[in-house]
Amino acid sequence: MDLSQQDWKAQLDRDQNAVILDVRTADECSEGFIPKAINIDIYKGQGFIYALDELDKSKNYYVYCKAGARSAQACQIMTQMGFENTYNLEGGFMNWKGDVAFSTEG
């Protein structure tokens, strides 16, 4: 399900069963990410599928990428894999107005 930036954040803030999933590349994540997000790069192909398979399908997944296209694709893949609730961030991280975290690694 596609949600506007405002709806995505509002719903996320109320959701006790939420997991934030960032499907961008490591390079993109180095520019900042939404706090508490886990990163699984959709460009990893089968590796992306394997990583998704390790996740708890009973959680609610709030998925984003840079502009919203890859995360929409990720939500479709996740739905096909049996995930019940996936929410795509319309407009992606480049339009994100909420908090941003930066990696302390490296």
Look at residue 66 and tell me if it is in a domain: yes
Look at residue 16 and tell me if it is in a domain: yes
Residue 12's CATH number: 3.40.250.10
Residue 96 pLDDT greater than 80, yes or no: yes
26 within 8 A of 39, measured Cβ to Cβ:
yes
Look at residue 50 and tell me if it is in a domain: yes
Look at residue 105 and tell me if it is in a domain: no
Residue 103 pLDDT greater than 90, yes or no: no
Condensed to tens digits (0 to 9), the pLDDT of residues 16-56 reads 999 999 999 999 999 999 999 999 999 999 999 999 999 99
Residue 7 pLDDT greater than 80, yes or no: yes
Look at residue 103 and tell me if it is in a domain: no
pTM listed for this prediction? 0.95
Neighbour-count burial of 99, counting CB atoms closer than 10 A to its CB (0-12 exposed, 13-18 middle, 19+ buried):
exposed
Residue 106 pLDDT greater than 70, yes or no: no
For residue 84, the enclosing domain spans: 2-95
Condensed to tens digits (0 to 9), the pLDDT of residues 55-86 reads 999 999 999 999 999 999 999 999 999 999 99
pLDDT of 48: 98
Quote the strand ranges of 33-91, DSSP E. Answer: 38-39, 60-64, 85-89
Neighbour-count burial of 93, counting CB atoms closer than 10 A to its CB (0-12 exposed, 13-18 middle, 19+ buried):
buried
Other residues' Cβ atoms within 10 Å of the Cβ of residue 98: 13
Look at residue 102 and tell me if it is in a domain: no
Counting the structural domains of the chain, the total is 1
Look at residue 71 and tell me if it is in a domain: yes
